[in-house]
Amino acid sequence: MICIKLPHTDFEVSEIAFGAWAIVGGFNWGPQDEKDSIDALRTAYEMGINFFDTAELYGKGASENLIYKALGEVRDKIIVATKIKPDDFAFEDVKRATEERLKALKTDQLDLLQLHWPNPKIPVEETMGALEELKKEGKIRAFGVSNFGKEDLSEAFKYTDEISSNQLPYNLIWRVIEYEVLPECKNRHVPILCYSPIMQGLLTGKFSDPAEVPDDRARTRHFSSKRGQTRHGEAGCEKETFETLKKIKTIADQIGKPMVEVSIAWLMAQPTVGSVIVGGRNAEQVKKNVKAADLKLDDDVLKQLNQATQPLKEQLGKNPDLWEGESRIR
């Protein structure tokens, strides 16, 4: 497993990270056995993953607790990234929320503390000031952001130059960040931590028709607003999405690799990508996903994938919010 050094840090992270949301179950994940969750975490570590991404909002701290339970004995060998929610971005709230995250992870220092979403109601100067102070105090080793757009980043950089990462949704059928957000990250030397790399299963090839996708996985702007759990109010682009998925599968079949591995490998080949956050609800899922680290796509295959997914990228437009018609990402 290749590791990269995040800017403004003294540590390196694996190019594939373990996303620790699904292991708590609930939400749209369904029931989850704790033994499977612990096995998934330990298998990820054994296969070379040293980077684990979690958040307060993932089971109200349950995800963080599981990471400690599974990997507490190797705490000095792993990098844990967690997040605080936007309601806690005022100066004193950042400090309090950080203490809570330290307790949940049973550690005396957080490796990477991230802001889960932008909050324009709280001055970013206040939030960044708290993060810089926490870093000086040794409570956090580094800080990053999540779901920050071009303007969000530009504003944050007025008050700090130490942002180590920006966590964003990015995959073959969600390339919208390439219009404005990715170039801004590149200009600012902020690596992207990619979440939803297989688009909640769409890029595994398990669904052949929009009707097969359950409503709790059909909340994005790819799907019609007639779907029960959408919030965007748009027509969606279901036909174009599934035509694109077929093209991706054809390319994957031509090189004899599973669609999921090709999708993750494509991400790892993109400029400015630092790490790809991949989930796994049990050890077997982790083993399948980690195989993508060994797959290097040649230039011709990358070009084919880019061409196959370009029309959908254009159809979705420049709004970088995966779920809302009126973007929360500036």
pLDDT of residue 329: 85
Q: Give the type of residue at 328.
A: R
Percentage of the chain surpassing pLDDT 90? 79
Q: Evaluate if residue 28 carries a pLDDT over 70.
A: no
Would the pLDDT of 294 be above 80? yes
Q: What is the pLDDT of residues 127-167, one digit of tens each?
A: 999 999 999 999 999 999 999 999 999 999 999 999 999 99
| Section 200-210 average pLDDT | 91
Count of CA atoms in the C-beta half-sphere (13 A) of 46: 11
In single-letter form, the type of residue at position 252 comes to: A
Enter the tokens of residue 313: 């990228």
- Could you give the CA distance from residue 33 to residue 58 in angstroms, rounded to a whole number? 16
Backbone dihedral angles phi then psi of residue 97, each to the nearest 5 degrees: -60, -35
pLDDT (0 to 100) of residue 30 = 64
Residue 10 CA to its chain's centroid (Å): 22
Q: What residue spans define the domains of the chain?
A: 3-202+259-297
Give the pLDDT score at 33.
78
Q: Residue 29: which pLDDT band, with cuts at 50, 70 and 90?
A: low
- Answer whether residue 181 shows pLDDT above 90: yes
What are φ and ψ of residue 284, in 5° steps?
Answer: -65, -40
Q: Give residue 228's pLDDT band: very low, low, confident or very high (50, 70, 90).
A: confident
Domain 3-202+259-297 has CATH 3.90.1170.50: no
**Phi/psi of residue 165, each to 5°?**
-170, 160
- Average pLDDT of 207-236? 91
Separation CA 123–CA 253 (nearest Å): 50
- DSSP assignment letter at 30: B
State residue 34's pLDDT score: 84
Counting Cβ atoms within 10 Å, is residue 210 exposed (0-12), middle (13-18) or buried (19+)?
Answer: middle
d(CA 329, CA 312) in angstroms, rounded, equals 20
Distance CA 140, CA 102 (A): 9
> Mean pLDDT, the chain, as a whole number?
93
pLDDT of residue 197: 95
Which one is catalytic: 58, 68, 159, 170? 58
Which pLDDT score is estimated for 252?
Answer: 97
pLDDT exceeds 80 at position 172: yes
58 labelled catalytic: yes
Q: Report whether 287 contacts 43 (CB < 8 A).
A: yes
Q: Residue 289's pLDDT band (boundaries 50, 70, 90)?
A: confident
What is the C-alpha radius of gyration for the chain, rounded to an integer number of angstroms? 19
pLDDT tens per residue across span 66-124: 999 999 899 999 999 999 999 999 999 999 999 999 999 999 999 999 998 899 999 99
